[in-house]
Amino acid sequence: MQVKSKIFASTLALILVVLAVLYMAGSFSDKQSAGLKTILASDYKGEVATLSLKSIERFELVPGTIIAKQNTQVSSRVMAQVKRLNVRAGDTVKAGDVLLVLEQDDFIAKLSQSQAQISAITASLTQAKKQLDRIKTLRQDELVSVSDLDEAQARYDNLNANLVIAKQQQAQAEVALSYTTIKSPISGKVVERFSEPGDTATPGIPLLAIYNPQQLQFEFNVREQQAVKLALGQRLNVAIPALNTHHMATVTEIVPIADSAARSMVVRLELEDQINLMPGLYAQLKLPQASLMGILVKPEWIHYYGQLAMVYVLNNSQIERRYVRLGERNNQMFHIVSGLKAGDKLAVDYKPVN
């Protein structure tokens, strides 16, 4: 008897547990389960939009950047201390403007030394010329030996050679002195200043960076399958998100070497109007692809619940809440990737009652 009581109690406890689980799962509730939810709407009088397949233009967005077609890094040709800089980043300069000046004392001293050497050699050469002329006259009268004449001629020729060398040294000193005044090689804008007064300028080490703001271009790494289809002179749509602008740019350069690692090619485009552009800005190239047929809906027809997008569909005189997956925008309309099909009717004016 006790065994039957225990079996009955265990069975009753198991039934109670099952009933509790079913209750918590909502099995005894009239509330509709999650998913497509229907609402009676026999009295709906708003606008109904019947969906149909439409041709959708597709684009591949290629990231890129704006670069300066004409840019340069200014450096010194001689080693010297920076004495004065006349420009800072953002300044506009013209070709030939003095950008910076180096210390000139050592170069002026070398130039003065070469000039003094030329003067000394010139004086000695004048004296040697007179001596050579006298010996030539005396030799005609056979009053001096041939060796004396040869010695005078050799001295004169040696001084002439020394004068040529001294003049070359003077020219080098003048050129070196001119290098202490560094001028802008192009007209443009200073991008960056790498040195300050007191720093030592070393040949080959940049002191300033300058670019021409009137000669900018877009640079993109385009997939080789797309790049080989492009042609010089072709006009493509380029977006600049930072400026919220779109431009039609012309393909001006296709580098005929593919990157074997990235399987891409460098493509450069230019604009006729380059107002407000600057190097380094992010850009997007819209490469057209083959169109496809799909469903397009207006943004105002879509409702959002957190991260979920949904629309209201008329189905058998009821309004059905239908969740959809959105694709890219196309001509101010959303491409519906999934959730709707051709022939579906949307209750676009329906407002749910809370």
Helix and strand element counts for the chain (H, E): 4, 21
The pLDDT value recorded for residue 132 is 84
- In 3D space, the residue among 193, 210, 180 whose CA is nearest the CA of residue 94 turns out to be 210
Distance between CA atoms of 27 and 37, rounded to whole angstroms? 17
Q: Residue 30: what pLDDT?
A: 43
For the whole model, what pTM was predicted?
Answer: 0.56
pLDDT score at 36:
42
pLDDT for the residue numbered 43: 64
pLDDT computed for residue 31 by the predictor: 42
Distance of CA 84 to the CA centre of its chain: 32
- Predicted confidence at residue 20, as pLDDT, reads 65
For the chain, 354 residues long, give each residue's pLDDT as a single digit of tens.
Answer: 555 566 666 777 777 766 665 555 545 544 434 344 445 656 677 888 888 888 887 788 899 999 988 888 999 999 999 999 999 988 999 999 999 999 999 999 999 999 999 999 999 989 988 888 888 888 787 787 888 888 888 998 998 999 999 999 999 999 999 999 999 998 988 988 999 999 999 998 999 999 888 888 999 999 988 888 899 999 999 999 999 888 899 999 998 887 777 788 999 999 887 777 888 899 999 988 877 888 889 998 898 888 899 998 888 778 888 899 988 777 788 888 898 999 998 888 887 765
Contacts by 36-39, CB closer than 8 A, 24 or more apart: 36/320, 36/321, 36/322, 36/323, 37/320, 37/321, 38/315, 38/318, 38/319, 38/320, 38/321, 39/318, 39/319, 39/320, 39/321, 39/352
Going by C-beta distance under 8 Å and a sequence separation of 6 or more, which residues neighbour residue 61?
284, 285, 286, 287
Q: Are the C-beta atoms of residues 109 and 117 closer than 8 Å to each other?
A: no
pLDDT attached to residue 161? 92
CA distances from 89 to 85, 201, 333 (A): 11, 18, 44
Structure tokens at 234: 């072709």
Contact indicator for 50, 167 with CB cutoff of 8 Å: no
pLDDT of residue 258: 75
State the angle between helix axes of 146-178 and 105-140 in degrees (0 to 180), rounded to the nearest 10.
160
Please tell me the chain's helix, strand, coil percentages from 3-state DSSP, rounded to the nearest 5. Answer: 30, 40, 35
Res 248: pLDDT = 92
Return the pLDDT at 262: 77
CA distance 171 to 20: 105
